[in-house]
Structure 1
Amino acid sequence: MFSSRAALTAAVLTLAAGLTACTPVADIEAAPDAGNPDCAEVMVALPSELAGQEQRKTDSQASSAWGNPSKIILRCGVPVPGPTTDACATVNGVDWILREDDTTWTATTYGREPAVEVIFDPEEVSSSTLLVQLENSVARIEPTRSCVSSSDLELPAQ
């Protein structure tokens, strides 16, 4: 009985290894500060499934991709954004600067160093689902600043 169970386990592991080998490694350029130790904290906490997409292996440090082809790309250690007039959304306590291009959106953490960047196609991936599911990982980097709106500012009387 034991040997047949061990053989079955070995067969399942071999099959699983073969199936993951079918998914090509995602080619992603590493962020400038990818070697930051805080990025390692983020990376080990990333979900294996994100917005309905399975995680893939990548060829660079502090990066991840989901979907085949990649629907979501994450890089930790991107340049930390300074004050901006770009849209900023707070999702479960994490501030994200949102930038829209023709076909993709880029969400970059605001007020956390190192910064985390997520690139995705909003036609294929829900931004609200994506950013909610990343909260547990990204929140491992302590915030030092937060988004403010013009209504939060005190303007001098004229």
Structure 2
Amino acid sequence: MHRKTFRRAAAAITAAGTAVLALSACSPPVDVTAAGDAANPACAPMMVALPDKIGDAQLRKTNSQATAAWGDPSQVILRCGVNIPGPTTDRCVSVNDVDWVIKEGDPYYTLTTYGREPATEILMDPDKISSATVLADLAAAAGKIKSTRQCVGQEDLQNLPSSK
């Protein structure tokens, strides 16, 4: 009889210890400021389609609506509902039918969807993860927001008929 009580107590202590270890292993949510239009319902389909990993970086919890982060420390931060970019001379690339405006900063790049409302912004450190990997891994999710226009490059402008 005494052995049963001891076994139950030992099992309870082991379970409690495991729970404490599991909780202490969790990272706190990443503090990300929500974008101005984060409550836009068009963000929802993209947010539920986000990948669990970008490269080797795991998806983490954030503390704001329509945001995401990958890596510990964060290598990629995503915010849906940012200002929609207008015409720009910044580089624009298309990856899997999603256009992105790229602003190269030091040390972070800002990648913003072009031609989609609401726009999505990604902040990333190119020294820690490749922008090609980030854009390829996020294209399917970003594509959940309907495209209304495409990037136009210098070569496209030169090929337009003149209005003489």
TM-score where L is the length of structure 1: 0.86
| Higher CA-based Rg | 2
Partner residue, 1:70:
74
Q: What is the CA-CA distance between 1:156 and the residue it aligns to?
A: 2.8
Unaligned runs of 5+ in 1: 1-10
Which residue among 137, 140, 148 is the counterpart of 1:136?
140
Partner residue, 1:107:
111
Q: 1:130-158 deviations in whole A, cap 9, x for unaligned?
A: 10010110000110010111221226377
Q: Distance in 2 between matches of 1:152 and 1:20?
A: 54
Unaligned runs of 5+ in 2: 1-14
Q: 1:84-142 deviations in whole A, cap 9, x for unaligned?
A: 11000001110000001110101000000000001000010011111001011000011
Partner residue, 1:55:
59
- The CA RMSD measured in Å over matched residues stands at 2.1
Percentage of pairs with the same residue: 52
Q: Which runs of 4+ in 1 moved over 3 A?
A: none
Q: Distance in 1 between matches of 2:57 and 2:106?
A: 22
Listed as ranges, the matches of 1:1-158 within 5 Å are: 18=22, 22-153=26-157, 154=160, 156=162
Q: 1:33-55 deviations in whole A, cap 9, x for unaligned?
A: 00011111111000111121011
TM-score where L is the length of structure 2: 0.83
Aligned length: 147
Helix, strand or coil at the partner of 1:140: coil
Helix, strand or coil at the partner of 1:74: strand
Change (3 A) 1:53 1:87: same
